[in-house]
């Protein structure tokens, strides 16, 4: 789309652009037959995503680490939309145990699953290991969503088969996927504190989001399953995600103020990819400002994607044995 389109809001081939809002890109869409999970749906663009999904009739499950905040989000949605269907389940993506417990809880609801939005994340965190001994940004942003998606995959396949309606998975990545370590994914030093960079570790996890989406898309297409998997960059939005680097963000915003979006604009690309009928059958793509865009060279590397998948499964298997 380019810098000019970003700052002016010029619409691209999809008919939407950087200034489009979540409500605008879903106008006229009936999602009353959709059951959706939104990770991190208690705040920021996750909350806006959940709100607009409910506005279009979807049954939304907000997956959140903080149940108090999730309940406040639910009440906020219900205040303006009394018929909204919202459920809340606890999910800490940095914990393999929590991810498994969430899936058990969701399965107990005996619901279909038409839409999975892997939205939650952390950003620019100081070096820290998760309870499973994995670097926190990689554990939360990639590995938790990787496991969550895998554990829900059979449910989504069943939903697609029994309803005859396409199921969609959306991974929230970032333009930051272009700013990672030299090797892209540091498979041999994923937990190395000495060479840790808050920015590169974040970029690494966002690169992993795209690679995960692409590899899963490839495998599902080989199976002939009616499930699409795409990744998106929501844009630059000031949310709690940036709480770990307030000074850096203030300086960054001073020089990039014309590129920032508000929250309704930030949720637009996610919802465009999640619900718009134009994207039926489209899979393994990367979207920015509601338009398909080519990601980095590393993000399009099929061998790297396959290696990441194998590596992620080994990490999960190893952590589960501790």
Per DSSP, the residues of 26-94 read TTT---TT-EEEEETTTSHHHHHHHHHHHHTT-EEEEEES-HHHHHHHHHHHHHH-TT-EEEEEE--TT
Tell me, rounded to whole angstroms, the distance of Cα 196 from its chain centroid. 24
| Amino acid 244: pLDDT | 47
The rounded distance, in Å, linking the Cα atoms of 188 and 159 is 38
Give strand pairing partners of 39.
63
Domain spans, the chain: 3-316
The rounded distance, in Å, linking the Cα atoms of 166 and 113 is 11
The rounded distance, in Å, linking the Cα atoms of 284 and 279 is 11
The rounded distance, in Å, linking the Cα atoms of 122 and 95 is 14
Class of domain 3-316: alpha beta
Active-site residue, from 181, 196, 202, 287:
196
| Amino acid 251: pLDDT | 52
Tell me, rounded to whole angstroms, the distance of Cα 213 from its chain centroid. 10
Give strand pairing partners of 261.
237
The rounded distance, in Å, linking the Cα atoms of 22 and 272 is 8
| Amino acid 248: pLDDT | 56
The rounded distance, in Å, linking the Cα atoms of 232 and 292 is 9
3-state secondary structure of 126: coil
| Amino acid 191: pLDDT | 97
Query: Which of 206, 293, 318, 322 has the alpha carbon at shortest distance from 3?
Result: 293
- Annotation says 196 is catalytic: yes
Q: Are 276 and 29 in contact (CB under 8 A)?
A: yes
Query: Which of 119, 72, 96 has the alpha carbon at shortest distance from 263?
Result: 119
Q: What is the DSSP letter of 275?
A: H
Dihedral over alpha carbons 259, 275, 299, 124 (to 10 degrees): 50
The rounded distance, in Å, linking the Cα atoms of 101 and 92 is 10
> Residue-wise pLDDT tens for the chain (322 aa)?
554 454 445 789 999 999 999 999 999 999 999 999 999 999 999 999 999 999 999 999 999 999 999 999 999 999 999 999 999 999 999 999 999 999 999 999 999 999 999 999 999 999 999 999 999 999 999 999 999 999 999 999 999 999 999 999 999 999 999 999 988 999 999 999 999 999 999 999 999 999 999 999 999 999 999 999 999 999 988 655 455 455 655 554 444 445 579 999 999 999 999 999 999 999 999 999 999 999 999 999 999 999 999 999 999 998 866 5
User: How many residues in the chain?
Assistant: 322
| pLDDT tens for each residue of 113-150 | 999 999 999 999 999 999 999 999 999 999 999 999 99
| Amino acid 215: pLDDT | 98
The rounded distance, in Å, linking the Cα atoms of 119 and 250 is 24
């Amino acid at each position: 789309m380019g810098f000019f389109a970003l700052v002016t809001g010029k619409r691209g081939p999809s008919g939407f652009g950087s200034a489009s809002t979540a409500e605008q890109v879903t106008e006229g869409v009936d999602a009353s037959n959709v059951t959706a999970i939104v990770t991190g749906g208690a705040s920021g663009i996750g909350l806006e995503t959940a709100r607009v999904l409910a506005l279009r009739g979807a049954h939304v499950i907000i997956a959140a680490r903080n149940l108090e905040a999730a309940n406040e989000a639910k009440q906020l949605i219900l205040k303006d939309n009394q018929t909204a269907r919202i459920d809340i389940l606890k999910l800490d993506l940095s914990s393999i145990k929590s991810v498994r417990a969430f899936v058990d809880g969701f399965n107990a609801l005996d619901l279909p699953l038409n839409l999975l939005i892997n939205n939650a994340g952390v950003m620019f965190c100081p070096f820290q290991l998760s309870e499973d001994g994995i670097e926190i940004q990689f554990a939360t942003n990639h590995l938790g969503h990787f496991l969550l998606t895998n554990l829900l995959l059979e449910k989504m396949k069943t939903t697609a088969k029994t309803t005859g309606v396409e199921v969609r998975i959306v991974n929230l990545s970032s333009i930051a996927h272009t700013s990672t370590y030299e090797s892209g994914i540091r498979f041999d030093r994923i937990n190395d504190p000495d060479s840790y960079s808050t920015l590169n570790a974040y970029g690494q996890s966002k690169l992993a989001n795209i690679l995960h989406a692409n590899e899963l898309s490839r495998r599902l297409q080989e199976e002939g399953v009616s499930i699409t998997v795409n990744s998106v960059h929501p844009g630059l939005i000031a949310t709690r995600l940036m709480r770990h680097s307030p000074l850096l963000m203030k300086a960054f915003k001073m020089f990039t103020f014309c590129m920032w979006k508000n929250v309704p604009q930030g949720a637009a690309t996610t919802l465009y990819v999640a619900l718009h009928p134009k994207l039926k059958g489209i899979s393994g793509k990367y979207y920015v400002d509601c338009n398909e865009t080519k990601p980095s060279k590393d993000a399009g590397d099929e061998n790297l994607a396959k290696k990441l998948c194998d590596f992620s499964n080994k990490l999960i298997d190893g952590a589960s044995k501790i």
